[in-house]
Structure 1
């Protein structure tokens, strides 16, 4: 079924000189990394939370990314308004439901968003995506649990159908689901779990791609593939005594150096029609 990928002109992403403006309402733990990853991949980040300027900022952006990692009641109001503005102006929205399974408050926020607004991509780990179906999870905080690869595809597709969205699921084998297709992406370094924020940093890769191509499914595959390939390159070139700190710095270098390349390898991305 990889003909589905073969028919898409990925030049819309890597040959497109557009520098999309991505508006983030995100968490303070990884905001600097997210901004730098956006720049490294050819986008322009803006991070505004004041409700007084949400409409103006969001309406001029090419994509909106919502991350509930460090959510507050004040931030929730800005999130709702930003998504409404994005929906009204046909601006794509990416939701990262960080730790949604951890507390009832986070669940309430995320389910309200999904029930009332259009979300183009939900990006999360397996536990977070599973929680969106009301299923019990064994995760602690923002960590993910181990779920069988085939089960992840089933869960992701149910989320995609339920919320008319794309489910981009990170894990040992990254998975992207639409209501019709399930893509498995092989690759990615285990060292991605040794530093904070690599999951959050995938969102800008998807956002920049989505702003350029307007295809949520394939942009999710492209963005995740970028992170996986960049991480593989860095890990394979680390020197003796270099570890997590060096890995993180070189990850940005690797992303920067591949932003104008076709990152889809048919051998690493398998798409099946369900």
Structure 2
């Protein structure tokens, strides 16, 4: 368990969503009190998701439906991480062939990118592949064509499947990219989304934070906790979702903190802040 001083330094908490703040369509009873405690302590928060199939507005509406009010600055998706990376590292890439849902395409267009058509004469600067729940075979073939023609290409997230409680397999971005890679012999130039550290570095940049000031909280060791380690942030595993304590014991990737749920993290942050204030009050 990290020292109290590590918790006292936390200025921002990054929250995975399903398994951390809610399960399926049900908000955990401790989520709202935890967010209220963050506000009381002056600690900011961001909701984080690997799923780029919905726009920021879609996710904000989903949170609102669950009783949580959030601003656009409090949400970060793998599509936004991809956009931020491209703007900073590849500013010349402006026209993109986007293999994604209409919501994802709209997110890129809102950020100033142009969407190339499914036309061999409309040559894109790069290809971006996401979790396309509206996938059309012709567009998959067009994406593979541009990849085969040495266009730069990027994947929004590595997930092979999207979790669901329905009797189906939701083929996610990683599997779509595997089809393109098999057809062309080329892997993506960069894969965003957890556990890639760009998901956290984008938030650090947005809020002008240092790594020691951020706690990454999630229920998956191989994505949430691995990303925290990759970005040198505090990794907090909650046992309210996928991972168990036995999983953590067996994993080579170790969380800095394990708590039953967000209520436990709230207690640690509150205790650290009180201890820090007590030291200040007793300083000679």
**TM-score bracket for this pair, using the shorter chain length:** 0.3 to 0.5
TM-score by length of structure 2 reads: 0.32
Larger fraction in helix: 1
Larger radius of gyration: 2
